Amino acid sequence: MVRSWTSPSLSPLPASGLPLRLHDTRTGRVAPVTPLTPGTARLYVCGITPYDATHLGHANTYHAADLMHRALRDTGLEVEVAQNITDVDDPLFERARRDGIDWEELATSQVELFTEDMAALRIIAPQTYRSVSEAIDSIISVVQKLHQRGRAYPVQAADAAGPDWYLDLGMDGALGDVSGYSEQQMMEVFAERGGDPEREGKRGVFDPLLWSAEREGEPAWDAGALGRGRPGWHVECVCIAGDALGLPFDIQTGGSDLIFPHHDLSAAHAVGLGRGFATVYNHAGMVAHEGEKMSKSLGNLVFVHRLVRDGLDPMIIRLVLMAHHYRADWEWSEAELDRAAERLRAYRSAAARGGHHPATVEALRAALRQDLDTPAALETLDAWASGRGGQDPVRTPDAAAPGDVAAAVDALFGIDLS
């Protein structure tokens, strides 16, 4: 059983009642989020493949999801959050084979690191945190249902006893519904993000693997008429999201490298099941280092646990992330840490002075509601810390109670200023 992490204590503010405005990749617009079920927002966060946890690119994605969670709470909604662990996937098996270790051991150790990092960063834990291997029975029933609905077709595999099964995207015409990408744009990223455009026998170039026949060194489960094997990537999230939140649900979020194929094709699986998927598709930007997007293959990863182990206050990492709009692509550098550390010192001394600053608090909430505009929030906080947020009535500081700005920064941005 996968262990989630312990959420930070949450100090609620009285709900604003104003909606969160959020960017939707599908429409390209920022618009108010209206939950399908009044009063409750349902959020699905695509989780890690546990072989390289947790670099700053991950931190950026899960920080954005956490801000979304906090912003939705601040509007007065209940928030149901589900997150998966892709512990049955090619890159994990490749890594385990390369390093000569058991894939389950690798996954367990990386999930442990990830959950420690999430707790250190004060990310609110999802109510459902589920690995693919835990959800396998349910995933098999979804794969079988797609097969029964005529969406699955076999492709012979030279290195396996039975065929692999693919989803026939041509049946529903849902390809590109989320990304809006042209075929050329799809082709540019499909192969590097787990797709197999060259595979012979596929009906459509972008048809995704639904069920992979059993191969040596990989786990396998019995899926009846589809034979022994394991699920493909996209169907895993469709199933875990559907089980935890129901289909359709409100928001799916993840890094922008998931727009295509993962989120496009997850939605296409749901269409194949005769269901809707997310209402809003939201994506965080990519973090670069040394001129390239952080990635395992390039070896330019900066890990959260290393920074924390070296004594860095995790709140400094949150402030670095806040300095960039979550949808922006940006480059990590050491100088970012210095600026954020300076901010944390200034904010903590201002918080220690206490006081009552309702206009500052309202400005912070308004920034968060406007597509999680953390750079605007930091400007407000900089002004408050330097005493320039002068429009607020100043009351006698009360050393026993935290200033209301500190409480708001905790509730809205997950930053502990005590």
Q: Which residues bind Zn ion (CB under 5 A)?
A: 46, 237
> What residue has token string 């993962």?
262
Comparison of 140 and 237: residue with beta carbon closer to Zn ion: 237
User: Cβ closer to Zn ion: 239 or 317?
Assistant: 239
Output the CA–CA distances (angstroms, integers) from residue 376 to 239, 335, 379, in the order listed. 37, 20, 5
Residue 262: CB minimum distance to Zn ion, A? 6
CA 251/CA 32 separation, integer angstroms: 12
Residue whose entry in the numeric block shows the structure tokens 């490298």: 257
Residue 304 main-chain phi, psi, to 5 deg: -60, -45
Token reading at 28: 């390209």
Closest CB to Zn ion among 326 and 384? 326
CB of 194 to Zn ion, least distance (A): 11
Instruction: For the CB of residue 237, give the shortest distance to Zn ion in the complex, in Å.
Output: 3
CB of 68 to Zn ion, least distance (A): 16
Nearer to Zn ion, 194 or 227 (CB): 194
CB atoms within 10 A of CB 348: 17
Count, in order, helices (H) and strands (E) of the chain: 13, 15
Euclidean distance between CA atoms 178 and 296, whole angstroms: 27
Shortest Å, Cβ 335 to Zn ion: 33
Residue with Cβ nearer Zn ion (240 or 287) = 240
CB of 234 to Zn ion, least distance (A): 7
Pick between residue 46 and residue 316 the one whose CB is nearest to Zn ion: 46
The C-alpha torsion from 44 through 182 and 168 to 273, rounded to 10°, is 30
Question: Closest approach of Cβ 293 to Zn ion, in Å?
Answer: 19
46/132 with CB nearer Zn ion = 46
Work out the burial of residue 195: count CB atoms within 10 Å of its CB; fewer than 13 is exposed, 13-18 middle, 19 or more buried. Answer: buried
Strand partners, 253: 45, 282
Tokens representing residue 152 in the block: 């699955």
